[in-house]
Structure 1
Amino acid sequence: MSHTTARSIVQRYHRAWTSNDIDTAMDCVADDIVCRAPGIDLHGKEQYREFIGGFAPALTGIGDIAEYVDGDRVALFYYPQTAATDTAPAAEHFTVRDGLISESVLVFDRMAFGPPE
């Protein structure tokens, strides 16, 4: 069995969802994931799938990714690019347990991703 790091799991997840490959992204997520995002707390893989799957098709690209790794915790900082914005930053903090993402805290400006006026 190969040694899989928290960093490699989060990178696989991030590459998948930002490419609109939600099935592969969900392969990296625990069934009982808890996610805190602006305006909503998500509990379980199905709620998380709906949330990520609802946003992924709007992506037109991803800009400048930075990361921080501390054991089973990984933080990513990046710019999700959509028709509405390419300058609004996002940050995610993941906890990986037993080879799957079990917790996520997602921070972004919801207003920046609304329809352009």
Structure 2
Amino acid sequence: MADESPSTISPKTIVRDYHHAWTSGDVDRAMSFVADDVFCRAPGVDLRGKEAYREFIAGFAPMLTGITDIADFADDNRVALFYYPETATTATAPAAEFFTVSGGLICESVLIFDRLSYGPPDQDEPHEID
């Protein structure tokens, strides 16, 4: 994003740069692509504002051990990403994000993932099904 103004950068590039930053552990850089009044709908929580969003992302980013991209799609100012976030406990639970970009910043995000896949492993004995 060095010498380009936000209006000349495509929404897809903004989202891809944001995604690469936070999945590489650089949450501060990731937040440079996010509007102050961002709204994010995630499983179990609605996040309002950049600080709440930063806290949410910063809580998960250190758990990442890798990322495998599946696909991305763009339609004007809306961008969808599909990927496998890999952690010590899971590498096969896909995630999807749907972003809206306005004024060169991410202003809205819908994040979809299976929360149970990222929780602690079940400590119970295996159960047999009759």
The alignment's TM-score, normalised by the length of structure 2, stands at 0.87
List, as ranges, runs of 4+ consecutive aligned residues in structure 1 with deviation greater than 3 Å.
Answer: none
Taking the aligned partners of 1:64 and 1:90, their CA distance within structure 2 comes to: 10
Runs (5+) with no aligned partner, structure 1 = none
Deviation at 1:63, TM superposition (A): 1.2
Q: How does 1:1-117 map to 2 (within 5 A)?
A: 2=4, 3-117=8-122
Percent identity reads 65
State which drifts further: 46-55 or 60-69: 60-69
Give the letter aligned to residue 85 of structure 2.
Answer: P
Higher Rg of the two aligned structures: 2
Q: How many residues align?
A: 117
Taking the aligned partners of 2:120 and 2:17, their CA distance within structure 1 comes to: 29
Deviations 1:28-74 (A, max 9, x none): 00000000000000000000000000000000000133001000000
The alignment's TM-score, normalised by the length of structure 1, stands at 0.97
Taking the aligned partners of 2:69 and 2:38, their CA distance within structure 1 comes to: 26
Give the letter aligned to residue 97 of structure 1.
Answer: S
CA RMSD for the aligned pairs?
A: 0.9
